[in-house]
Amino acid sequence: MCLKKASTSSLGSRCPAWSSVTGCKSVTTAAGWRVCISVFGGGGVGWFESPSRTSPLMLSTALTVSAADSGLSKISGGVSPLMILISDVTSSAMDSEPGEKPLIGFIGLGNMGNHMARNLVSKGYPVLVYDVNTAAVDGLKQAGAKTASNPAEIAANTDRIVTMLPASKHVQEVYTGNNGIFSKVVKGTIMLDSSTIDPAVSQDMAKVAEGKGAFYLDAPVSGGVNAAKQALLTFMVGGPDSKFPEAQEILQNMGKNVVHCGAVGTGQAAKICNNMLLGISMIGTSETMNLGIKLGLDPKMLAKILNMSSGRCWSSDTYNPCPGVFENVPSSNNYDGGFGTALMTKDLGLANNAAKDTNSAVSLGQRAFEIYTKMTEKGYGGKDFSVIFKILEEMSGPEVEKKKKEFYDQ
């Protein structure tokens, strides 16, 4: 259907009130649009109100519509045959004018999601946000975002949604709960889930979305909090080829790399593999830094050598776990902020489950999972996962074997 904004010369600068349109009929579509069309001869004049702009205040815009356009149906029963209604308009058809950026819903404003949503706002997108943490919501509101009371409200008001949640259970609740996305999702909506979860859960969500005429793509991220702040994330996307360009258009505002991995679930598979390697490499980097310091090496000098040699990795050259080597990383901030140990434990658990399902040998991955599980049980779950360096440092000394046994066996 072709919907064109009418010129002010034909309609004046403002749309008339609903009650002032003689004989006009209106309809509220599934997307929440109120549409009224009066057709005279071959063309016509119409008005609509959009729920996806500045709720509860609605935007009124004038339209001209060709009676020959598909999607328009004549009304009989005493009504003039020239009077028609739009019966199946969706928010995607009228969400934005050329050059105007569409409304994006964003759910999940934690350490990563907060920065991701802020980047969308800073790039000029209207953003509608929700999180159970009201302080996080208030912060985004001050940054220029609009707020919603639950995921369903977001789904009812936009056809582009990004979610960034801690675990599979949170994704299931946000999407399928009583006030979840699927309770109000509009046909044609594209949902991008940047959470790191079980690939099977992503596939389940995609099946439900398909049944509602919508599209769910998994789009987990890599790069950490600093990359989220600077819009330098890498997105690993799983979903239909036909929907990747739409996903890329949104995600490129929050990252520098947007990679299509394949069908739904492959984004999660790539992320799980990446984070298993990350957990292993962080333990290896921490052991290396601790050993070098015990051998008398200056930590900054050791890091410099590692980062120009074959042992170089992200854990050594960007996110070094030894305090003081780099500024603006959790290790230099008492391991606060960043990527929590509990979340790394969760991701390593996903990797180990996947290894069992596929009969894959992951000896180091299994050991890393055991170590991070013990760290979480010992109360380090809220600290950044690089806190493993501190634990190794505290274990070291004359009674190192005893301390190791106490840590891992208790």
Is 271 labeled as catalytic in the residue annotation?
yes
Q: Are strands 104-107 and 160-163 parallel, antiparallel or unpaired?
A: parallel
Contact 12, 104 (CB under 8 A): no
User: Residue 203's closest CA among 245, 172, 235?
Assistant: 172
CA distances from residue 90 to 1, 3, 400 in whole angstroms, order as listed: 11, 12, 65
3-class DSSP state of 354: helix
Q: What are phi and psi of 196, to 5 degrees?
A: -100, 110
User: What letter does residue 317 receive in the DSSP assignment?
Assistant: H
> What is the torsional sign of CA 333, 121, 156, 245?
negative
CB of 23 closer than 8 Å to CB of 108: no
Residue with tokens 């800073």: 122
**Active-site residue, from 271, 346, 383, 390:** 271
* Strand-pair partners of 384: 340
22: helix, strand or coil: coil
Judged by DSSP in three states, 307 sits in coil
Residues designated catalytic:
271
